[in-house]
Amino acid sequence: MQELIRLLEQEGLDGLYLTRPENVRYLSGFSSPEDAQVYVSREGALLLTDGRYTVQAEEESRIPFKILTREERKAFFEGLEGRIGFEAEHLPYARLEELRELAPVEWVPTRGLVERLRIKKTPEEVRLIQKAQALADEAFRRILPLVSPGVKEVELALELEFYLRRHGAEATAFPIIVASGPRGAMPHGVASEKAIQEGEMVTVDFGARYKGYHSDLTRTFGVGRVDPEKKRLFDAVLLVLEEVLAQLAPGKPAKELDALARRVLEKEGLKAYFTHSLGHGVGLAVHEAPGLNAYTEEVLEPGMVVTVEPGVYLPGFAGVRVEELVLVTETGFELLSRLDRGWLEV
């Protein structure tokens, strides 16, 4: 909490009104952060929620909390003074207008303040991400025997989801991607009614949410014998992943890793088909800082948890992505998935 008060001083703020659910959860431990906010002042942080959550706030909140009726909420805002920060990337404009009416203070847009604190994970956070990843690994192992020509993408997605939920995940990290054959060329091809065919490649990208923390995993495999022209895409993507992992270490600028990935694909004649960034941080949000892309100034530090997920997508033909989740350590990195990432034909 000292860090937060230092942030207020640094930004010249008297208070900070936080609405982004991941940030609310991070600071309070409260598991319904969509229905709560955190107000930070020089005295400390306070969770604000309503009468539906009295028992839950009592049980979960690591910081003092207030249950506010509509009138009490109004009075709370009327009592504010000075310069109060809000989260410009999260607070809708209409909410800001309401706040301005309630509290005639100077509302100051802020960006990424709590996200900066979240960027390096504590050992406890790492433990929760590891648990979320272990669930995903096991779910993936469980669906492989179910893969055969004629099975629909959505059937595999349902099996994954059922396994995750059955074993303690709160939810999937995001809508599960199962993209087979030409659908593999859609990087975010959410599982459809399409039946998987012999000779196709299948990309599965999914994760679990466990106690608020996420995992993220992608594997691409073949169903029966896959045409060498398609398999070549897999080999190229795996080569990128191996080359990037060989360079991944604390002190490394994230944009250098992204550039390295593109150089390797350029040699393979596939650079134009890699249409997204190389990776992203994972934690309370499934996509968070640091981004591994061409535009970031982030440098990897021990405690960061990031994905490395090169992919190539050839419209009308096929697509491949392979994604690993890694913890940056003092000496290099630790893979959080225990799954093999080599070529697999099922």
The footprint of Zn ion on this chain (CB under 5 A) covers a number of residues equal to 5
Helix axes 228-247, 254-267, angle to 10 degrees: 150
State how far the Cα of 193 lies from the Cα of 327, in Å rounded to an integer.
35
- Nearest distance, CB of residue 323 and Zn ion, angstroms: 5
Q: Is 115 in the site for Zn ion (CB under 5 A)?
A: no
SS3 296: coil
SS3 112: coil
Handedness of CA 74, 75, 80, 81 (dihedral sign): positive
**Span of 137-145, 155-163, 253-261, 320-328 interacting with Zn ion by CB under 5 A:** 320-328
Are 24 and 36 spatial neighbours (Cβ–Cβ below 8 Å)? yes
Residue whose CB is less far from Zn ion, 136 or 265: 136
Site track 150-189 with Zn ion (rule: CB under 5 A), x = hit: ----------------------------------------
Answer for which of 180, 203, 215, 307 binds Zn ion (CB under 5 A) is 307
State how far the Cα of 202 lies from the Cα of 5, in Å rounded to an integer.
49
Look at strands 15-18 and 37-41 and give their pairing: antiparallel
* DSSP designation for 343: -
Q: What is the DSSP string of 212-248?
A: TEE--EEEEEESSS--HHHHHHHHHHHHHHHHHHHH-
Residue whose CB is less far from Zn ion, 130 or 307: 307
- Nearest distance, CB of residue 342 and Zn ion, angstroms: 19
Radius of gyration of the chain (CA): 22
- Nearest distance, CB of residue 271 and Zn ion, angstroms: 20
Residue whose CB is less far from Zn ion, 115 or 205: 205
User: What are the start-end ranges of the H helices in 12-152?
Assistant: 21-28, 54-60, 70-78, 93-102, 113-118, 123-143
**Span of 125-133, 147-155, 181-189, 316-324 interacting with Zn ion by CB under 5 A:** 316-324
Residue whose CB is less far from Zn ion, 218 or 337: 218
- Nearest distance, CB of residue 265 and Zn ion, angstroms: 18
**Span of 67-75, 119-127, 197-205, 310-318 interacting with Zn ion by CB under 5 A:** 197-205
State how far the Cα of 260 lies from the Cα of 144, in Å rounded to an integer.
32
Q: Which two tokens stand for residue 239?
A: 């080569």
Residue whose CB is less far from Zn ion, 37 or 218: 218
- Nearest distance, CB of residue 174 and Zn ion, angstroms: 8
Residue whose CB is less far from Zn ion, 87 or 258: 258
- What residues from 205 to 244 belong to the interface with Zn ion (CB under 5 A)? 205, 216, 218
- Nearest distance, CB of residue 165 and Zn ion, angstroms: 18
CA distances from 142 to 72, 159, 306 (A): 51, 8, 25
Residue whose CB is less far from Zn ion, 73 or 287: 287
Site track 263-302 with Zn ion (rule: CB under 5 A), x = hit: ----------------------------------------
Task: Give residue for tokens 């650079």.
Answer: 271
Residue whose CB is less far from Zn ion, 110 or 218: 218
The contact set with Zn ion (CB under 5 A) reads: 205, 216, 218, 307, 323
